[in-house]
């Protein structure tokens, strides 16, 4: 299943990149296509270096040391050793909505964040299952993949914004080979953002499945992750995160913005029941009780 997820992610990233290049070409021919690509590279560079600081600041997460959270650090260190990566820093998010996420530009600069609500409702095994999932994101370089996907999708949406102005002012005056006609601009403005969000969401869902699988094998407790997902899903449905940025939904183990209108249109996570079903199969393969 892991190889299939990697192939799926590679295909979707290629589609997203191709969409970016195609949008650039439609707006202004070959020159705009390369400008669009350069714009995406610039956004990727910024996201790679600063996204971890931004997301921790958005949620008021506080990095704690081992003296403050010895049990939490002990679990994280043991799982990181099992995964073969450096022990990430640990942060606590001051909200009662239970959830967790990982961030950081690479395994040496990673942070695993958990909310106060998560620490309150999960037992030790369930917490271990969740932390193994987040450490799997670090091990599988999912943070980089999701950052690049989000940056490319963002570049496409910016180009679509420009396309609206192009359509208003009559488009480019070049010939057909140069692209940028009014009809093309209108189509780009309408369809490109939708396509970009759909592909980005599909990438996020595939990485969640892979992190579930990898995390279950790292902890050896797929049943613990399944129980944790059930608890988090139920709690989030009753108490969704109100003060946050929906653009970061893909980072969390369960979408924290349940019931917030537009956040439900493009799912960044597979249905929890399907994740549990897959974990049940993994448990059977591992010969562990579920």
Compute the distance between CA of residue 85 and CA of residue 95 in angstroms, rounded to an integer.
28
Compute the distance between CA of residue 185 and CA of residue 168 in angstroms, rounded to an integer.
9
Which CA distances in Å does 234 have to 125, 230, 273?
18, 6, 12
pLDDT of residue 27: 67
Mean residue pLDDT of the chain comes to 83
| Nearest one of 287, 282, 142, 285 to 226, comparing CA atoms | 282
pLDDT digits (tens, 9 = 90+) for 139-151: 998 887 877 777 7
Which CA distances in Å does 239 have to 232, 233, 251, 258, 275?
10, 10, 18, 9, 21
Please tell me the pTM assigned to this model. Answer: 0.80
| Nearest one of 290, 11, 28 to 162, comparing CA atoms | 28
60 has pLDDT over 70 = yes
pLDDT digits (tens, 9 = 90+) for 170-208: 554 444 444 445 666 676 677 777 888 888 888 889 999
pLDDT digits (tens, 9 = 90+) for 96-134: 999 999 998 889 999 999 999 999 999 999 999 999 999
What does the CA dihedral 18, 19, 22, 23 come to, rounded to 10 degrees? -150
Compute the distance between CA of residue 290 and CA of residue 286 in angstroms, rounded to an integer.
10
What does the CA dihedral 207, 283, 112, 71 come to, rounded to 10 degrees? 180
Yes or no: say if 134 and 112 are a contact pair by the CB < 8 Å rule: yes
- Provide the 10 A C-beta neighbour count for residue 17: 17
63 has pLDDT over 90 = yes
Q: What are phi and psi of 236, to 5 degrees?
A: -65, -35
Three-state DSSP at 62 gives: strand
* 147 vs 272, residue with greater confidence: 272
263 has pLDDT over 60 = no
pLDDT digits (tens, 9 = 90+) for 15-55: 777 777 777 776 667 777 777 777 767 776 776 677 778 88
Task: Please report which confidence band the pLDDT of residue 155 belongs to, taking 50, 70 and 90 as the band edges.
Answer: confident
pLDDT of residue 5: 56
Compute the distance between CA of residue 270 and CA of residue 198 in angstroms, rounded to an integer.
13
| Nearest one of 203, 197, 199 to 269, comparing CA atoms | 203
pLDDT of residue 68: 95
Give me the residues paired with residue 62 across strands.
92
pLDDT of residue 180: 44
CA–centroid distance for 286 within its chain? 27
Which CA distances in Å does 188 have to 118, 148, 175, 285?
42, 21, 18, 46
Helix and strand tally (H, E) in the chain?
8, 4
Residues 6+ apart with CB under 8 A from 82: 218, 219
Give me the residues paired with residue 93 across strands.
115
Please identify every residue annotated as catalytic. 134
pLDDT of residue 167: 63
Give me the residues paired with residue 100 across strands.
114
Can you read off the two tokens belonging to residue 52? 């971890």
Compute the distance between CA of residue 100 and CA of residue 270 in angstroms, rounded to an integer.
16
């Amino acid at each position: 299943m892991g190889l299939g997820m990697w192939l799926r992610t590679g295909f979707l990233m290629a589609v997203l990149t191709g969409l970016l290049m195609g949008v650039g070409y439609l707006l202004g021919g070959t020159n705009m296509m390369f400008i669009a690509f350069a714009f995406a590279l610039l956004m990727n560079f910024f996201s790679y270096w600063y996204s971890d600081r931004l997301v921790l600041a958005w949620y008021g997460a506080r990095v704690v040391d081992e003296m403050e959270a010895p049990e939490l650090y002990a679990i994280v260190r043991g799982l990181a050793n099992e995964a073969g990566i450096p022990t990430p820093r640990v942060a606590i998010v001051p909200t009662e909505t239970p959830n967790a996420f990982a961030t950081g530009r690479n395994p040496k600069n990673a942070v695993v964040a958990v909310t106060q609500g998560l620490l309150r409702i999960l037992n030790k095994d369930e917490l271990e299952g969740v932390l193994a999932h987040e450490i799997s994101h670090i091990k599988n370089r999912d943070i980089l993949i999701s950052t690049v996907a989000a940056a490319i999708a963002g570049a496409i949406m910016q180009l679509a914004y420009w396309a609206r102005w192009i359509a208003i002012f009559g488009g480019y005056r070049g010939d057909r080979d140069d692209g940028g006609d009014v009809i093309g601009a209108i189509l780009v403005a309408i369809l490109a953002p939708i396509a970009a969000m759909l592909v980005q969401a599909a990438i996020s869902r595939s990485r969640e499945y892979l992190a579930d699988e990898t995390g279950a094998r790292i902890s050896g407790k797929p049943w613990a992750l399944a129980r944790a997902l059930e608890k988090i899903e139920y709690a989030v449905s009753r108490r969704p995160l109100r003060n946050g940025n929906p653009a970061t939904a893909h980072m969390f183990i369960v979408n924290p913005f349940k019931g917030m209108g537009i956040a439900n249109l493009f799912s960044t996570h597979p249905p929890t029941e399907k994740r549990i079903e897959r974990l049940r199969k993994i448990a059977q393969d591992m010969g562990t009780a579920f």
